[in-house]
Amino acid sequence: MTALLRDAAPDSVAELTDTAIAYWNGERLVYAFVSAEGTGALAGEFELDSRRWTEWKDWLADWLTDPVLSVRHDLPGAT
Expressed as residue numbers, the domain containing 21 is 2-71
16 within a domain of the structure (yes/no):
yes
Beta carbons within 10 angstroms of residue 65's beta carbon: 6
76 within a domain of the structure (yes/no):
no
11-68 pLDDT tens trace: 999 999 888 999 999 999 999 999 988 788 999 999 999 999 999 999 899 889 999 9
44 within a domain of the structure (yes/no):
yes
8 within a domain of the structure (yes/no):
yes
- Is pTM beyond 0.75? Reply is yes
Domains: count for the chain: 1
